[in-house]
Structure 1
Amino acid sequence: MKCYFLSITVLVFSMLFGSCSSENASQPNIVVILCDDLGYGDLSSFGHPVIKTPNLDQMANDGIKFTNCYSAAPVCSPSRAGLLTGRSPNKAGIYDFIPGVKKSEDCRDMVHLQEHEKTIPAMLKSVGYTTCLSGKWHCSSRFNSDQQPKPDYFGFDYWFSTHNNAAPSHENPNNFVRNGEKVGVLKGFSCQLVVDEAIHWLKNKQKNKPFYLQVCFHEPHEPIASPKDMVDSYLPKSENENQALYFANVANMDKAVGRLIQYLKDSGCDENTLIFFTSDNGPETLNRYAKAKRSYGSPGDLKGMKLWTNEAGFRVPGILYWMGQKTYKGSSDAVISSLDLLPTFAQLSGAELPNRILDGESIVPLIKTGEQKRTKPLIWAFYNALNEQQVAMRSGDWKILCKLKNDTSYIPRLNNIYKGNEKLVKEAHMVDFELYNMKNDWEESENVLTQYPEVFERLKAQFEDEYRKLLDESFVWVRKEE
């Protein structure tokens, strides 16, 4: 009788919540949580003095807190493309954020993640995973149009997304699309709605398959809106109501993460589910544009902000928590990147890597032992940088940056590379180098180029070689009529 009762209980539980067991028990479920414009210093576990993020702090305590975690770019669209493909977004032709469709000379209206790109969800589907995207997409100029690939083309079985920001704000958004169908006005705040949809999918997904779930929050990108009770709780510790709105926005996102983790535990997914949390780039600069009046994100001690090639542009919070599995636990200063996710997930799932040169590398040894020596440097070429250095590279404990110059003038800030400016970019020279020791000076306060001439010459040669290889593979946009 007891065994019969136990069997019924297990059956009912499985019917209610779905099964997290898979036919291949060695394959982990994988959840990637990506924030939008979250600064390096915006979580309490990363030093924020006011914002409380207990759920993410607990993740960091139970897993690995990465203090040298980098995004693929200092702005959203290229960063997201890099995460999905494991390659520099320049190779996909995504150099800056993707606007809506408005024809321009520089072909920016054409930019999208192209059909030939190989992505994490497509790779994982090949070894039996079921996949879902819930949240921001921002990898095409013609969102939800048959003229450009939709998220399902790149391996997402189920998708619930917006082109860019939640509109008109995070509260009661009206621009979500579910599997190609417009949803209409939704009641609630974006991060909670995104987690609601993720949980709904988890409950109804195909059983006995491992899953890949990509949760892409809009928070804390403008236009910011936050629950009144949370805003009121932060007002006494804020400079003004706008700052309280920002603080509450991050806290509300943390609450949504907590709800997702609790569901994973309650549904039995805590035996073998790897969760990776990060941000697409650094924090927005307050009042950089008219609607950025609530952008009180913190870069911590780092130099710069979003759209900079200094550290705060793309050094972001990184937390990995592998539920139910033994991993290294604690803080790690190993250099990692969102580019590393694809090769890492390939190794963990048994999937074959795409037949192309990747810019990321597997961090499985680091996850399991806490130790790994990176073999590939990280390089960024962001031609619309707000600071003057458009190219940067992190190699070991060192970071080197430079400006780009043609014969008599520095190249201007550019949003895209197309036939009309290809020569301008590819014939530019790397000049005005800067060198920083990131182990001793992650604030980039002292250019030590002259103090370490041998290090500089070695890194300069590596930098020039890596940038030339990146240029050779960078995609150039051309209109058909050209």
Structure 2
Amino acid sequence: MNLRFISFIVLLISVISTEAQDGKEPSQPNIVVFLCDDLGYGDLSSYGHRTIKTPNIDKLAETGIKMTDFYSAAPVCSPSRVGLLTGRSPNKAGIYDFIPGPKKSEDLRHLVHLQKGEETIPERLKTVGYSTALAGKWHCSSLFNNPAQPQPDYFGFDYWFATHNNASPSHENPKNFVRNGENVGPIEGFSCQIVVDEAMSWLDKREDDNPFYLQVTFHEPHEPIASPKDLVAEYLPYANNEAEAQFFANVANVDKAVGRLLKYLDENGKDNTLVIFTSDNGPETLARYPGAKRTFGRTGGLKGRKLWTTEAGFRVPGIVKWIGKDTYNGTTDAVVSTLDILPTLCELTGAKLPDNKIDGESFVSLINEGKFTRKKPLIWGFYNALNEHQVAMRHGDYKILARLKKDGEYLPNMNNIYKGNEELIKSSELADFELYNLKVDNKESSNLVVDNPMVFNKMKALLKTEYKALLEESHIWDSTE
């Protein structure tokens, strides 16, 4: 064996050893997660919208994996975001509805926040050498930028540039961003572009060559909507009014922002990057509250909207594209959830799963081979459901929904579970079931409870088991927290 060959082997072993000590594999991808706010299942041209142009997001769907049966963790903002971050039902973290500000309330919503002890995607990825950043909306705590509750940095974000909830006073020239604990003040421009500017700035200024996890959480197209005048003018001829043109332009502006970041990755050699694009829940209802005057989101024919446990509440666009790697390319009806992102990223990066029991499943096989069959049912306990069916579960092709009753009376809608209503919730019974075969009826138009008793009885029994387990693990708030 000659000396040159021996020297090569020694050098190779040294490189491998160094990488092992750094806690990262040479094949670890960079990761970008785009999360929109109130983007409906039918709001992208690749998902059927005939007016809004979304060429950059459509290209991701064309060249990557377009998922037709992709679900958020809840039909509303805060619990959906917590589910994505933790891979667990948000009920287990005690996040049952959107988190308002800290105004004291009888049901203790003013206490609600993502608590210490919850393990998240960025926290897990940091253990295997990742640099991490959040740019956009946080909405996982009632006290934002306040040491009384853990902030994004506690949950693994090295760098964060965020707002508590919506961009204020609107998407245009927002003034409520905070950067690593410091108020930024007024910023000129539109929120989605500002967020992407910040993401690219962070990437430019990084002093390490670690792989990165970048979570880009747009405010759009949630109210208060504001869009660039040139885009609004472009859509006015195709809209029923100026308000609808504002909404169309709002989604189109998000697409432009996504395109800018993708172009940056391409031009800066980030040719090993896994990109995930989705939404936190379905589209808002026009005029549901006074400020909802430009909420013209579409459901793609699905039933309900945001705050519903029917499909349009939480079936959302889901796109995965691994830039620089030859993976599966196509459209799939595999049942996938945002809960699955954490275990998927852990498997891809070599990170260990959290000690906390998670509800998601890795869909690496879908990315690599186009095949994924989930074993765990997806269950939602959303106690403020506008369609009154507060519990829903999807398993295989079927979905079952139920209302909650106590002593013959239906439970009222509730925003939070605390000591004052714990007994009411836990002693209630599932009732008024509905059953749908989503494979052939994703509009939930034909209730099969009577026509298919065999499937109904199996699904009802499974729902009772799964819902009981969810209740047992749900966090109950009390005034001492």
5 Å matches for 1:311-390? 311-390=311-390
Deviation at 1:180, TM superposition (A): 0.1
Counterpart of 2:471, as a letter, is L
Report the 3-state secondary structure (helix = DSSP H, G, I; strand = E; otherwise coil) of the residue aligned with 1:467: helix
Give the aligned partner of residue 93 of structure 1.
Answer: 94
Moved over 3 A (4+): none
Q: Once the two structures are aligned, what percentage of the paired residues are identical? A: 66
Deviations 1:166-223 (A, max 9, x none): 0000000000000000000000000000000000001112322010000000000000
Counterpart of 2:247, as a letter, is Y
Q: Please say if 1:477 is aligned against 2:473.
A: no
Contact 1:23 1:208 in 2 (8 A): no
CA distance in 1, matches of 2:114, 2:354: 16
Deviation at 1:355, TM superposition (A): 1.3
Contact 1:135 1:216 in 2 (8 A): yes
Deviation at 1:23, TM superposition (A): 6.0
Counterpart of 1:320, as a letter, is V
Give the aligned partner of residue 293 of structure 2.
Answer: 293
Report the 3-state secondary structure (helix = DSSP H, G, I; strand = E; otherwise coil) of the residue aligned with 1:334: coil
CA distance in 2, matches of 1:438, 1:357: 28
Report the 3-state secondary structure (helix = DSSP H, G, I; strand = E; otherwise coil) of the residue aligned with 1:425: helix
CA distance in 1, matches of 2:207, 2:112: 34
Give the aligned partner of residue 27 of structure 1.
Answer: 28
Deviations 1:403-429 (A, max 9, x none): 000012000000000000000100000
CA distance in 2, matches of 1:81, 1:427: 26
Give the aligned partner of residue 446 of structure 2.
Answer: 446
5 Å matches for 1:408-423? 408-423=408-423
Contact 2:119 2:356 in 1 (8 A): no
CA distance in 2, matches of 1:403, 1:214: 35
Q: Mind listing any 5+ residue stretches in structure 2 that lack a counterpart? A: 1-22
CA distance in 1, matches of 2:331, 2:84: 22
Q: Please say if 1:188 is aligned against 2:194.
A: no
Contact 2:118 2:356 in 1 (8 A): no
Counterpart of 2:233, as a letter, is D
Give the aligned partner of residue 303 of structure 1.
Answer: 303
Contact 2:25 2:349 in 1 (8 A): no
5 Å matches for 1:218-257? 218-257=219-258
Contact 2:24 2:128 in 1 (8 A): no
Q: Please say if 1:264 is aligned against 2:234.
A: no
Deviations 1:48-103 (A, max 9, x none): 01000000000001100000000000000000000000000000000000000110
Give the aligned partner of residue 16 of structure 2.
Answer: none
Change (3 A) 1:409 1:356: same
CA distance in 2, matches of 1:36, 1:373: 28
CA distance in 1, matches of 2:343, 2:450: 37
Contact 1:344 1:361 in 2 (8 A): yes
CA distance in 1, matches of 2:77, 2:223: 13
Q: Please say if 1:121 is aligned against 2:145.
A: no
CA distance in 2, matches of 1:362, 1:205: 30
Give the aligned partner of residue 279 of structure 1.
Answer: 279
Counterpart of 1:142, as a letter, is L
CA distance in 2, matches of 1:372, 1:177: 39
Contact 1:38 1:281 in 2 (8 A): yes
Counterpart of 2:342, as a letter, is L
Deviation at 1:140, TM superposition (A): 0.3
Contact 1:130 1:206 in 2 (8 A): no
CA distance in 2, matches of 1:24, 1:473: 35
Give the aligned partner of residue 8 of structure 1.
Answer: none
CA distance in 2, matches of 1:193, 1:463: 44
Report the 3-state secondary structure (helix = DSSP H, G, I; strand = E; otherwise coil) of the residue aligned with 2:450: coil
CA distance in 2, matches of 1:351, 1:126: 7
Q: Please say if 1:104 is aligned against 2:91.
A: no
Give the aligned partner of residue 458 of structure 1.
Answer: 458
CA distance in 1, matches of 2:91, 2:356: 15
CA distance in 2, matches of 1:425, 1:206: 51
CA distance in 1, matches of 2:209, 2:197: 22
Change (3 A) 1:23 1:378: closer
Give the aligned partner of residue 7 of structure 1.
Answer: none
Deviation at 1:25, TM superposition (A): 1.8
Q: How many residues end up aligned between the 2 structures?
A: 460
CA RMSD of aligned residues (A): 1.1
Relative to the length of structure 1, the TM-score reads: 0.95
CA distance in 2, matches of 1:437, 1:154: 39
Report the 3-state secondary structure (helix = DSSP H, G, I; strand = E; otherwise coil) of the residue aligned with 1:303: coil
Report the 3-state secondary structure (helix = DSSP H, G, I; strand = E; otherwise coil) of the residue aligned with 2:223: coil
Counterpart of 2:153, as a letter, is D
Report the 3-state secondary structure (helix = DSSP H, G, I; strand = E; otherwise coil) of the residue aligned with 1:471: helix
Q: Mind listing any 5+ residue stretches in structure 1 that lack a counterpart? A: 1-21
Report the 3-state secondary structure (helix = DSSP H, G, I; strand = E; otherwise coil) of the residue aligned with 2:69: strand
CA distance in 1, matches of 2:187, 2:388: 42
CA distance in 2, matches of 1:409, 1:23: 56
